[in-house]
Amino acid sequence: MKSWSRKKHVLALAYPNTEYCGVYSLGLRIISNIVNSNEKWFSTLHYTDKNNLKAENFIGFSFQYEPDYLNFFNMLKQNNIPLEKGPRQQIIFAGGPCINQNPFTLQKYLDFMVLGDSEIVMPKILEAYENTETKEEFLNEISKIIGVFIPDINKPTYAVLNNLDDSPYPIKQEYPKNLDKSFVFGKALLLETERGCPYKCKFCVIPTTYPKIRYRSYENIIRIIDEGIKMNKADKVAIYAASFTHPKRAEFLNYMLKKGIKFIVPSTKVEFLNEEIMKLIKENGQTSLTIAPEADEITRRTVNKFTTDNRFFEFAELARKLNFKKIKMYLLYGIPNQELKDLEKTIDFIKKMKDIFPNIYPSINPVVPKPKTQFDGLPFNKKILKQQAKFLKHELNKLNIDYKLESIHTAYNEYLLANSKDLTPDFFRNN
């Protein structure tokens, strides 16, 4: 334990949503760990429901979802912090998936942005803060760092951590004192097994933000599990992975089972859900599986996903054989050049999945073209989407299944926010 009185500098870390969301933000924990590992620093955590930034001078926001931009404006306003950079004494910066995807959306309000892997960037930023006297001097100094973007000074660059084992992992993970049912993962140790994805789906920002997938070593994963469970008295492990393709996934899942440690597996590629992995998940007590077919086989290929329908059917048969209770499926509509005749094939695919495994739950979302994806620059055609949504709803109602059809209005606002280069608070009043 360190003496907090010896520390000199404070970094306030803000997650612009409620605590029950932010407590499971791994990015926030990574930065907090970097800060608190430095003898001269400590961090404080802030959420929309624990929003006390009045006394803070150095504030970092983590943006996971575009609608949280509204909460950013509100959090500053509630603490009487000026939105505009010019008259503001505080230094306010941001990072996270939304900022990596489009670093220009909040450029009028942020002093700087952290792009890429923050483990490389943050220690250099802290050092510069310690060794400069004025805000202007500090910003000029950090503008030389790869991964720091200052709209008035330099252009966006992205920091890349080549080996995940080269940076410290936040094994110590703080939890609220009262974990009620709103905290969906409970007291779970967050475990990042890999970063990036080996696939190149056209709608996804990950291949361009993290063009190379990096796997944490098996030995390091086991160390994090053992030390993290003991240190935090956690009762389970929540695995963080975009596609969960780690080559040693069977080994460390089996390790946790033998140790009596429960785990939560994320959405997984069916190509990697073989019988061994599915048996381990079932033995763990997990009763549902989540996959992302996106569409029927022909349409699926147009977005760079080449898994056959038969592979999904084999997966469904195995899930039924192993007595899983539910399969959740993520699908898309509004894919470029997709027509109603193509959606008929998607409905046929869903029907065949239901014939094999009756309790399926399709969650169907309109494609939202975003920066740094292969769909960057494509329009959001509400007229076509409404026609397709009407068709899907009509056909899905015939199947006697639960399903979710994402709101086109919500998706359109997400599209506007994701692609904005001049966002103002008026956007939320008008939309």
Indicate if the pLDDT at residue 2 is higher than 80.
no
Query: Could you tell me if 141 and 118 are in contact, meaning their C-beta atoms sit under 8 angstroms apart?
Result: no
- In the predicted model, is pLDDT for residue 4 greater than 50? no
pLDDT at residue 209, rounded to an integer: 83
13 pLDDT more than 70: yes
Percent of the chain exceeding pLDDT 70 equals 98
Q: Which residues contact 73 (CB under 8 A, 6 or more apart)?
A: 83, 425, 428
Q: Which CATH number fits domain 163-266: 2.60.40, 1.25.40, 3.40.50, 3.30.750?
A: 3.30.750
pLDDT digits (tens, 9 = 90+) for 261-289: 999 998 899 999 999 999 999 999 999 99
**Per-residue pLDDT at 35:** 96
- Check residues 141 and 181 and name the one with the higher pLDDT: 141
pLDDT, position 1: 35
Query: Which token pair is 355?
Result: 């014939």
The domains spanning 163-266 and 287-431 adopt the same CATH topology = yes
Strand partners, 190: 238
Specify the pLDDT at position 15.
97
User: 60 in helix, strand or coil?
Assistant: strand
**Ranges of each domain in the chain:** 4-149, 163-266, 287-431
For residue range 295-347, what is the model confidence (pLDDT) as tens digits?
999 999 999 999 999 999 999 999 999 999 999 999 999 999 999 999 999 99
Predicted confidence (pLDDT) per residue in 180-217, tens digit: 777 888 899 999 999 999 999 999 999 888 888 999 99
CATH match of 287-431 with 3.30.750.200: yes
Q: Which fold has domain 4-149?
A: Rossmann fold (3.40.50)
Strand pairing class (236-240; 9-15): unpaired
